[in-house]
Amino acid sequence: MNRKERMQHVKRIVIKVGTSTITHGNGLLNLNRMELLVRQIADLHNQDYEVVLVSSGSIGAGIGRLNLKKRPNTIPEKQVAAAVGQGILIHMYEKLFSEYGKVVAQILLTKEDIHHRTRFLHVRNAFFSLLEQGVVPIVNENDAIAVDEIKLGDNDTLSAIVSSIAEADLLILLSDIDGLCEADPRVCPGAKLIHTVSEITPEIEKLAGGAGSSLGTGGMITKINAARIATTSGTAMVIVNGSTPGVIQDVIDGHEIGTWFQEQQHPLQARKHWIAFGSTPAGRLVVDDGAVRALTERQKSLLPSGVLKTEERFREGQIVSIVSQSGVEVARGVTNYSSMEIDQIKGLKSSEIIEILGYKPYDEVIHRNNLVVLLH
């Protein structure tokens, strides 16, 4: 199926725009770019597409308003810039969208909103309700208060998670480059563009470079990670140059531009996708080589006999990371036992659990239905 045929099945779209696309080099908002972006999204809305916009730029806008010479280095300075800039950013979006008769809603997310299962479901319901009402949600990380987001977060990853939450058909990443190339086009101007990626292999990951402009936090590696999250949830993703006139409509029309990442034909179920990408492991289980093979090759549950040790304290029902003896993360899953209980039954057969604990609610430490293999 070529792009034009694939686009006939697209209804819900997430569009991510980076700081470098909607701000000038000095941090001030690029009003011309923003107006062109809003016009394209409004026109998509007029074509009965449902659109979610994930927009960077709050810290950049704050930098401009505060007349800072460069991006702040300390967390408090970044929080100040984000708090000032977020109001500027959403005010401008609301003003521009209203000129086309569109209603917008602001959604500010933190890691906890994604990692806490109940809050995750509330966010999911909010997206569905807003889209049902014809509203354009505008999403950003809550950088003013979420310290971890400022240090570690990026909106490429956020947009992929939003795509999964909203069950989007397509994620469009508007970047300051034309797509994924065989080399960094800033260093090698003649680098060949890769038009289609059917699978994210180690070779594809090696092509990703570091961060781009001084105002943004993302680089190609974050886009590759975003592609992995999006495609495993059944969402196709495309990276295109956001400064190209009419680029969004070109994507919708099926033109062969940018780099297209094909969605997986058998995506993870929503709950398993959350376990794999939306959760923060409460601890780790180190397992032996036999357990690694059982999980990855035979799609088995994790039994106590394969567990070597626990790391960190965790409770029954929490998400834990399963790692090999060399420290490679093999899988994630919902544990049936606490770390204290696993410490007592590790290395034993399931039939021996009741002798040690005095009870045996489960034969498995983690059942296959509650486990997602990450190593292939």
Binding residues for ATP: 16, 175-176, 217-223
Structure tokens of 59? 């810290």
Quick one: 255 exposed, middle or buried, by C-beta within 10 A (0-12, 13-18, 19+)? middle
By three-state DSSP, how is residue 21 classified?
Answer: helix
By three-state DSSP, how is residue 77 classified?
Answer: helix
Strand partners, 372: 332
Strands 259-261 and 283-287: unpaired
Q: Annotated binding residues for substrate, as ranges?
A: 56, 143, 155
Closest CA relative to residue 20, chosen from 191, 197, 156: 156
Q: State how far the Cα of 320 lies from the Cα of 318, in Å rounded to an integer.
A: 6
Strands 236-241 and 259-261: antiparallel
Across the chain, where does the E strand assignment appear? 12-17, 50-55, 104-109, 136-141, 170-175, 196-197, 236-241, 259-261, 283-287, 307-311, 319-323, 329-334, 371-373
Going from the C-alpha of 172 to that of each of 13, 52, 285, 291, the distances in angstroms are 7, 10, 36, 39
Q: State how far the Cα of 188 lies from the Cα of 323, in Å rounded to an integer.
A: 38
Q: State how far the Cα of 372 lies from the Cα of 299, in Å rounded to an integer.
A: 10
Tokens 């919902």 belong to residue: 334
Q: Annotated binding residues, as ranges?
A: 16, 56, 143, 155, 175-176, 217-223
In angstroms and rounded to an integer, the radius of gyration of the C-alpha atoms of the chain is: 22
Cα 375 to the center of its chain, rounded Å: 18
